Amino acid sequence: MKYESIDIAGLAERLTAARKAANVTQEAAANHLNMSRPTYIAMEKAARRPKPDELVKLAELYKEPLNKLLRSDPRPQQMRPHLRSILDVSSDGGQELEAAVALLSAYIDDYQYLERLVNTNAASHFPPSVRIAPGPIKRFAEHCAQEERARLNLGAHQPITTPRKVLEEAGLHVFVDKLDSNLAGLYVFVPGFGYCILVNRAHPRERRHWTIAHEYGHFLADRDRPGVDYLKPMQRKPEGERFADAFAAAFLMPEAGVQRRFYEEVERTRDFKVGDLCRMADYFGVSLMAMALRLESLGLIPRGSWDRISESRVPVRALKQEAGIYSSHDDDSVEPYPQRYKLLAVQAFVDEKITEGQLAKLLRCSRIQAREIVEQCSETADDGDGTQSLVPLSLTHSLLSDIAG
């Protein structure tokens, strides 16, 4: 393909995405090319076609393969993130969100590129969208979670130890990478490609599991709805957020399984203490707060139990260690891309459709690591996580002693 025939609008979009992913300002890019900032901006707005030598320099600056910038692959249209933030994302949250969207966009772009190279498409087993029914949202979310667990053959009692793997096997694309601490995750549905989730690697394993389940709730209820969600303390959450939260709780902590485990603990000790709560949270792979609130909502421990625990201000990690639970901080072992993405990249390399340098770039690693991945590509990536959060008191404090009459 001749350079002049490359779509200038697509080229401008790829240049913009590459610059943002490299965290380079327009001013710095213009200086690198010895041109004015308005002239450079014209290239990103498709008002000026960059010269070949300018493209070479920009590829070096952005650390991107030149052929990636010259791709003719269509990029996903209108990235529509659905953001869930732990804290209030205030006025300076826009830049953090923009960086996260650019990161997810780059992953999707590479994934689509690999699919075209290998000439394959992902098989998906998506359920139909659900429409949030009038009435109690939690009850409806509980019903949806039960149906999804049955559809995915997850059983009615067992914990989901690897929610990422479960969703990837159902055809969703789950990426894990470091985002600003205020961002938990975001999603986008790309027509013709599928549903993509980006989860914050910097967060604890339990929170990442919750984010994945939460975003899956959005996929079920409003996969085509544009917009960004902010979690702002002391504000009423919109209907979609309340559904996603309730779905995540019921999906990760099924009522039948929680009740069985709870009564097993009570039968064993004739009580239910903070230490038992720690062990239940670890069993279901959720945070102490999520486990306590789920038990409260099912009427198994008194309302306000979590509030009383959190007021003690004892670090959760200390509580867990006292209960004999040691979280492994395995962030480095969590691969940023889905297993299928990795296998496609290796296949493209084995078929000599990409070079070793391009493989390393696609896998976000060094060439040495890329060679090791090629050798080990038959192994399934483990998607563990690690972490902590805050909580407190003595493990022997009874959570049943406060139940009224």
In order along the chain (405 residues), what is the average pLDDT of each group of 10 residues?
Answer: 72 85 88 93 90 90 81 52 41 69 86 88 75 86 94 93 91 91 83 87 90 91 60 64 93 96 90 89 93 95 90 77 67 82 92 90 92 76 38 53 47
Structure tokens at 285: 């792979």
pLDDT in tens, 113-147: 899 888 887 766 677 788 887 788 899 999 999 99
The answer as to CATH 3.30.1360.120 being correct for domain 1-72 is no
pLDDT in tens, 145-181: 999 999 999 999 999 999 999 999 888 999 999 988 8
**Given this model, what pLDDT does residue 63 score?**
83
User: Are the C-beta atoms of residues 145 and 251 closer than 8 Å to each other?
Assistant: yes
**Given this model, what pLDDT does residue 235 score?**
61
- Which CATH number applies to 77-252? 1.10.10.2910
User: Are the C-beta atoms of residues 252 and 210 closer than 8 Å to each other?
Assistant: yes
**Given this model, what pLDDT does residue 398 score?**
59
Q: Count CB-CB contacts under 10 A for residue 134.
A: 7
**DSSP letter, residue 334:** S
CA–CA gap between residue 66 and residue 60 (Å, rounded): 8
pLDDT in tens, 359-396: 998 999 999 999 999 988 755 434 344 333 333 445 55
Q: Where are the domains of the chain?
A: 1-72, 77-252, 335-375
**Given this model, what pLDDT does residue 96 score?**
79
Look at the pTM and tell me if it is higher than 0.75.
yes
**Given this model, what pLDDT does residue 363 score?**
93
